[in-house]
Amino acid sequence: MPLGTVIKDAASGLVIADLSDHTPVTVAKGGKGGFGNSHYATPTRQIPKFAKPGMPGEDIQVTLELKLIADVGLIGFPNVGKSTLISTISAARPKIANYHFTTLVPTLGVVRCGEGASFVCADIPGLIEGASEGVGLGHDFLRHVERCRLLLHVVDVSGSECRDPKEDFAKINEELAKFSPELAQRPQIVVANKCDIATEEQIAEFKAFVEEQGLEFMAVSAATMQGVRELPGKVYNRLKDIPPVPVFAAQYKKAEKAAGSRSFTVAKTAPHTFTVDAPWLERILAGSNVDDYESLQYFQRQLGESGLLDELVRQGVEENDTILIGEYQFDYIF
């Protein structure tokens, strides 16, 4: 599995494991191996005709959800310049075009700020109003933001698409809050993009609005590189004060088995008919040749040692009564 995969129980949705590092994780254990017939060979029984099949492994239905591991996430409406920005500050080369939803999958880029100083940035495809409810590809996009320690909220400050940058800013934050209240509290730097085609009044008004929210503001132009060169250093310094990438704690607990591996139940399902529920015994039968005397003796010893014969007697089994064990049928003989 790629790093960042979150494994959840399909039925409850609870987190089983978060593969956020290279620590091995066992979700379901394999079954114990059995023994071939050679294991039971003795000087007097040189070719035994029975074996012991292996035990089945654990069976669990899971869902696998990839949440990208990135220090910084670029969020914002479609066509605000996120892809252009990540292509200027990293070696990432996303498709860039002047139409909405050019980017259909998140793009990761490593941003280097100097010798030994770098961070991973993710271009999260354009969010839209209603994303938290699954509109568009809302959930597919928002789940990747959960990993990011810092959000670069990119806004088209010029209003080139006849949208109000203040409303865009508010709507994206509203979608974050609806998706996850914790995500709405994630640190943000507001990046006012396209300032090369914005008026000074537009930039000043939006800057005052952002700073009223208690957030840091940067005016840039990804197209002309205005203010872009200063951005990586500012982001790197901010990351120093932010905790590591969030890891999702395990919530799922395996149900403990109520009985041991050699447990069984016996029920009288019809006159002179008893049904035995014992999966372990069915596996022994599968590896036994009931037409062979030694093999049959081995099987009968298992019946006696497990206490199953005593339970049949306690429930009133009689000579020639039928015993059903899985797909097998026997006559009870004293």
CATH number, domain with residue 324: 3.30.300.350
The H or E element that residue 53 is part of is none
Location of structure tokens 């494991």: 17
Q: What are phi and psi of 274, to 5 degrees?
A: -120, 135
- Residue 166: the pLDDT is 94
Same domain, 118 and 214: yes
**Domain-ending residue, one of 256, 286, 304:** 256
Range of the domain at 31: 1-65+247-256
Q: Which of residues 256, 291, 315 is at a domain's end?
A: 256
Q: What is the pLDDT of residue 49?
A: 74
Per run of 10 residues, the mean pLDDT along the chain (length 334 residues) is 88 90 88 80 81 76 85 87 88 62 69 87 69 47 80 91 89 85 88 93 95 94 91 93 83 66 85 89 75 76 86 90 88 82
Both 226 and 90 in one domain: the answer is yes
Q: Output the pLDDT for position 138.
A: 44
Is residue 173 located within the same domain as residue 296? no
Number of domains in the chain: 3
Q: Is the domain of 105 the same as that of 141?
A: yes
**Residue of 127, 163, 125, 151 lying closest to 239 (CA atoms):** 151
| Tokens 């494994």, residue located | 7
Q: Are residues 233 and 302 in the same domain?
A: no
Q: Are residues 79 and 196 in the same domain?
A: yes
- Rounded Cα gap, residues 125 and 136, in angstroms: 11
- 158 in the same domain as 275: no
End-to-end Cα, the chain, rounded Å: 56
44 with 75, same domain?
A: no
Domain co-membership, 59 together with 74: no
Same domain, yes or no: 324 and 187:
no
pLDDT at 99: 47
Contacts of 49 (CB under 8 A, 6+ apart): 37, 289, 292, 294, 295
Q: What's the angle, vertex CA 83, arms to CA 212 and CA 109, rounded to 5?
A: 100
Residue 280 and residue 225 in one domain: no
pTM of the model as a whole:
0.62
Do 309 and 203 fall into the same domain? no
How far is residue 199's CA from residue 219's CA, in Å, rounded to a whole number?
12
**Domain final position from 198, 221, 256:** 256
The domain that holds 126 is classified in CATH as 3.40.50.300
